Chains A and B, each alone.
Chain A
Amino acid sequence: MTSVPLTAGHVPDAHDPHATSTGLDNKKIAIWAFIGSECMLFASLISTYLIYKGRSKVGPFPHETWTDPSTGHKFGAILNIPVTSASTFVLLMSSLAMVLALAAVQNKNIPKRTTSERILGSSQLWLLATAALGITFLGFQAYEFTSFVHEGLSIRTNLFGSSFFTLTGFHGAHVTAGVIWLLTLFAIDRKRGLGPRDEVNVDIAALYWHFVDVVWIAIFTLVYLIK
């Protein structure tokens, strides 16, 4: 039996947490696997919404008017596309802020000379801006949900209500989780400063945030824009 002398002083790569097969950080691989899984989650939600489109027995409806035969009350098309376009713009801008936040963390050690360089290089500013834009989007969603309920569409009203609130609610829950994640990074940044060694932690948050943003683009197109 062959064996190799083994001494404490002669232990190659005894502990090098950064040596991986691909050279990528473990967290980066895991977040991509997670995003793949999330694609199937939202695919199931969106497919159900599309399958149930036009199958509701009673209104209100997303794009058509409806008169309640028992009361004679007339409901308008319930989706408010101008307002949602504004909230979509807000969410898209949050992705821009996220890109700037990640760049600021990556370039933390590069000296900043001008005011604009200092603004662009402030990871705290851009993390907070991303979270604030996310919160603004959630505010729009809260306004949309309450106004729908006032107009007479709840999650129990019809198939449209059930599938719409569940789909957009799941997306909103993902945005909420992202906001909490970003605020946590912001708090760490304030406490001890995020530097290049934290890059991967901001990077995975950014990947998640962009993914949630992309999902919203799909929802906005399929639910709001296509009649």
Chain B
Amino acid sequence: MATIAATPAHAHESHAHPTGFMSWMSTVDHKRIGTLYLFTALFFFLLGGLEAEIIRMQLQGPNGTLVSAETYNQLFTMHGTTMIFLAIMPLSAAFFNYLIPLQIGARDVAFPRLNAFSYWVYVLGGIFINLSWLLHAAPDGGWFGYAPLTTRAYSPGMNIDFWVLGLQILGVSSLAAGFNFITTIINMRAPGMNLMRMPMFTWAAFVVQFLIVLAFPVITIALVFLMFDRFFGTNFYTTAAGADPLLWQHLFWIFGHPEVYILILPAFGLVSDVLPAHTRKPIFGYPVMVFSLILIAFLGFGVWAHHMFAVGMGPIADTVFGLTTMLIAIPTGVKIFNWIATMHGGSIRFTTACLFCIALVAFFTIGGLSGVMHASPPADLQQTDTYFIVAHFHYVLFGGSMMGLFAGVYHYFPKITGRLLSERIGKWHFWLTAIGMNLTFFPMHMSGLLGMPRRIYRYDAGQGWDGFNLASSIGAYILAVGTLFLVWNIIKSLRSGTRAGNDPWGSPTLEWAIPSPPPEYNFARIPTVTSRYPLWDMKQPALTSEVPHSHRGDKEMEVAVGGKTVGHPHPGPAAQSTRVSESEMHIETETYTPAQVGIVLPDPTVKPFFVALGMVIMLGSPLFMHEAQIREIAGNAAGHRTAMTMFWIFVLGGAALMVGSLYNWLLTPLESDHH
């Protein structure tokens, strides 16, 4: 066990394990921010799920009467927007935040306060979009918001205003986080943690950040055009003025297709780290797994127009985009086969986390196969805008992303809270989710091929869809029950879960070398890394005998060339003790105050929150401008002036709060001087 010389702990007040509301508002600790992301995103997941349940209740039988057409449009738009931008991306961000510094052996991210800013922009942006429900004006143009349909001429209400402004706000959050994580992964790795030793999840996160910083500016510009069209009368999407009705579609999908990989790759990364721990085998073909991630991301920028085959781009464009799309199936298929090969011959423990990983491999493959089907333009013309497409993307998003994220939740919850989730309740959650998911989405393939269009709020009986729709709705209710088991499991674990200890699963990567939950400073001593699986080297060297190693942490990449391993082969279990002392890898089991181990942590601060608040107020203020325009048209001059006054108060007040807090933040050092 670790020992420590008795040191006079001149503990700084703010570092003495703060609790309470203000400590969460002012935290800059990546682990606490990750925890905030996790629970906020799970909340929005429940909200988006509720919207989906209402949709399925409406469509349960022919001629549903539960909601009006207007409400139905708002429900499916907000279901998509919520699940993509407020649930799956932030759930991934929760793991980025929590795991990246731990997996690479760092004390925090590169810019801790920017990290807090990203979270606050996300949560305030999510609240902003959902405030629209209170005005019965939730966005109703679909999550893709196709212009010209979403221009003022065809969508005069505030619905799309909320969507346009809200998505711009959320984009800022993702971009700020993207710059932060790219810098963190490039620059904050522990000694010896070269790129080809990074855990697969960190690799997936790294690739996703590049997708985010390159794709989000494009939708930002598309949204700026739409905002200018709606508020200032520009002509970007006005076909009467000669505008190209496909401009939005191109800009949106240049963002939108990389976004698909932004949603799925973090789940791929989680599975690639969770599976080895539960099958007790290193990931099969690590370098190929890394390069296929990069290849998927690279190709992902060249396939956007496969979302637009139906608009008539001509045979050459259709062929090129069809082929590039099918090409992506190769690196994706490689990943599927490598996960199967990882399981092959392993001693598999069918824990809940492992079951969710296997579910991803199975269900994502089904979604991937239907994806290859509509990569072919002639097939796509039959399938586009039908429930077949809905079935496809729910198999990749729910069957892929969510299964991977659930696997991550079960695997990492003990690291985050120090307590295990119940395996018994977890199995209920898993089986209800797996059965419910397939019962909900598999029949949609059939109803879609029989011609049921997407986005309809009711349908007539006798078209051959009734049974499939009823099955989908029953599946959705089973999913709801399964999700309640997850909620119950989390509450039960937080109250009385089994203590996890450092490493409940026997995992190979750095985050399991420290206590659960980790101390504020993460690593009392930064480890020196000599292989991809430093903890297995120490505890179960037989498992990593075929993985390249070096004796000391070094910066050279070791690769196997033509069957010949360049670098130092594993010396085998007999030489373990020598190697461990040489590698300087160690396990920390006790938690100290930062002062005891001489670590200076960043000071907590609420400034990032106020910068985010000011920015959201400023970016949301055009809502008043719209109100002023309505009153002007109605001939209400006094009302117009009032609304415009409100607009200027909000835009200038928000800007003042943002800029003031930003200067205050930038001119304050990260850490106060303790000397």
**A interface residue numbers (CB < 8 A to B):** 1-9, 11-15, 20-22, 24, 26, 29-30, 33-34, 36-38, 40-41, 44-45, 48, 51-52, 55-57, 155-156, 158-159, 161-163, 166, 184
The residue from A4, A15, A26 contacting B187, defined by CB atoms under 8 A apart = A26
Q: Collect the chain A residues with CB atoms within 8 Å of residue B146's CB.
A: none
Closest partner residue, chain A, to B185 (CB atom): A21
Q: Contacting A33 at CB < 8 Å: which of B178, B193, B247, B538?
A: B178
CA distance A41 to B241 in the complex (A): 24
With A2-B587, A11-B525, A21-B189 as contacts: A155 and B232 at CB distance below 8 Å: yes
Given A6-B588, A14-B599, A48-B225, CB of A159 within 8 Å of CB of B241: yes
A2-B586, A20-B188 known; A162 vs B175 contact (CB < 8 Å): no
Chain A residues with Cβ below 8 Å from B577 are 2
Interface size counted on chain B using CB atoms at 8 A? 62
Interface residues of B in 172-186 (CB under 8 A from A): 175, 178-180, 182-183, 186
Most buried by B among A1, A5, A40, A166: A40
Q: B residues within 8 A CB of A184?
A: 663
Bound together, the chains give a CA A6 to CA B111 distance in angstroms of 28
The smallest C-beta distance from A77 to any residue of chain B, in angstroms, reads: 19
Bound CA–CA A1/B580 (angstroms): 11
Find out whether the CB atom of A11 lies under 8 angstroms from the CB atom of B225: no
Give 25 A-B contacts (CB < 8 Å), ordered by A residue. Answer: A2-B586, A4-B586, A6-B2, A6-B3, A6-B524, A6-B590, A7-B3, A11-B525, A15-B599, A20-B188, A22-B186, A26-B187, A33-B178, A33-B183, A33-B213, A34-B213, A36-B213, A36-B214, A40-B213, A41-B221, A51-B244, A158-B235, A158-B241, A159-B242, A159-B243
The smallest C-beta distance from A8 to any residue of chain B, in angstroms, reads 4
Whole-angstrom distance from the CB of B564 to the nearest CB of chain A? Answer: 28
6 closest cross-chain pairs (CB), A and B:
A41-B217, A44-B221, A162-B234, A4-B586, A40-B217, A37-B213
Q: Chain A residues with Cβ under 8 A from B228's Cβ?
A: 155, 162, 166
Which residues of B line the A interface, CB within 8 A?
1-5, 7, 110-111, 175, 178-180, 182-183, 186-189, 193, 213-218, 220-222, 224-225, 228, 232-236, 240-244, 247, 251, 524-526, 538-539, 577, 580, 584, 586-590, 596-600, 663
A156:B243 contact, CB within 8 angstroms: no
Query: Which residues of the other chain, A, contact B7 by a CB distance below 8 angstroms?
Result: 8
Q: Which residues from chain A contact B241 at a C-beta distance below 8 Å?
A: 56-57, 158-159
Assembly CA distance A3 to B187 (angstroms)? 27
Instruction: Give which listed residue, A8, A9, A26, A55, contacts B111 with CB less than 8 A.
Output: A26
Give Cα A33 to B209, complex, Å.
Answer: 10
Q: Quick check: A40 and B214 within 8 Å, CB to CB? A: yes
Give Cα distance in the complex from A13 to B526, angstroms.
Answer: 7
Closest residue of chain B to A7, judged by CB?
Answer: B5
Q: Which residues of A contact B242 (CB under 8 A)?
A: 52, 55-57, 158-159
B643 to chain A, nearest CB (A): 21
Determine the distance from Cα of A154 to Cα of B577 in the docked complex, in whole angstroms. 76
CA distance A150 to B98 in the complex (A): 56
Chain B nearest Cβ from A27, distance in angstroms:
8
Please judge, given known A-B contacts A14-B597, A14-B599, whether A8 and B234 are in contact too, CB under 8 Å: no
Taking CB atoms, residues of chain B closer than 8 Å to A161 are: 234-235
In the complex, A159 Cα to B244 Cα: how many Å? 10
Chain A contacts of B584 at CB under 8 A? 4
When the two chains form their complex, are residues A5 and B217 in contact, meaning their CB atoms are under 8 A apart? no
Residue in A closest to B601 when the chains form the complex, CB atoms: A15
**Cα-based distance from A156 to B232 in the complex (angstroms):** 8
Decide if A52 touches B243 in the complex (CB within 8 Å): yes
- Among residues of A, the one whose C-beta sits closest to the C-beta of B221 is A44
Find out whether the CB atom of B187 lies under 8 angstroms from the CB atom of A20: yes
A48 to B235 Cα, complex, angstroms: 12
- Asked if B4 contacts A8 (CB within 8 A), the reply is yes
- Which of B7, B110, B180 has the most A CB atoms < 10 Å from its CB? B110
CA distance A14 to B4 in the complex (A): 15
Complex contacts, A12 vs chain B, CB 8 Å: 525-526
The answer to whether A34 and B597 touch (CB under 8 A), given A3-B586, A6-B588, A158-B241, is: no
Contact status of A156 and B235, CB under 8 A, knowing A6-B3, A13-B526, A41-B221: yes
From B3, B186, B584, name the one whose CB has the most chain A CB atoms within 10 angstroms: B186
Q: Is B217's CB under 8 angstroms from A4's CB? A: no
The CA-CA distance from A4 to B523 in the complex, in Å, is: 13
In the assembled complex, how far is the CB of residue A154 from the closest CB belonging to chain B, in whole angstroms? 9
Residues of the A chain whose Cβ atoms lie less than 8 Å from the Cβ of B182: 29-30, 33
The 8 Å CB contact of A3, one of B183, B224, B539, B589, is B589
Contacts of B600 in A (CB 8 A): 15
CA distance A48 to B524 in the complex (A): 52
The distance in angstroms between the C-alpha atoms of A154 and B340, with both chains bound, is 61
The residue of chain B having its C-beta at the shortest distance from the C-beta of A55 within the complex is B242
Contact A162 B236 (CB under 8 A): yes
Q: What's the least CB distance linking A217 to chain B, in Å?
A: 20
Give me 10 other A-B pairs in contact (C-beta within 8 A), A6-B590, A26-B110, A30-B183 excluded.
A3-B586, A6-B588, A8-B597, A11-B598, A30-B182, A41-B217, A56-B241, A161-B235, A162-B236, A163-B236
Among candidates A11, A155, A156, A159, residue contacting B524 with C-beta atoms closer than 8 Å: A11
Smallest distance from the beta carbon of A209 to chain B beta carbons, Å?
17
Rounded to whole angstroms, the CA-CA distance of A6 and B188 in the bound complex is 22
Complex: A57 Cα to B218 Cα, angstroms: 26
Residue B179 contacts which of A9, A11, A30, A159 (CB distance < 8 angstroms)?
A30
A156/B234 in contact, CB under 8 A: yes
Q: Chain B residues near A57: list those with CB within 8 A.
A: 240-242
Residue of B nearest to A167 (CB): B221
Which residues from A are CB-within-8-Å of B221?
41, 44-45, 48
Bound Cα distance from A5 to B216, whole angstroms: 47
Chain B contacts for A158, CB-based, 8 A: 235, 241-242
Q: When chains A and B are docked, how far (Å) is the Cα of A44 from the Cα of B171?
A: 16
Q: Which residues of A contact B186 (CB under 8 A)?
A: 21-22, 29
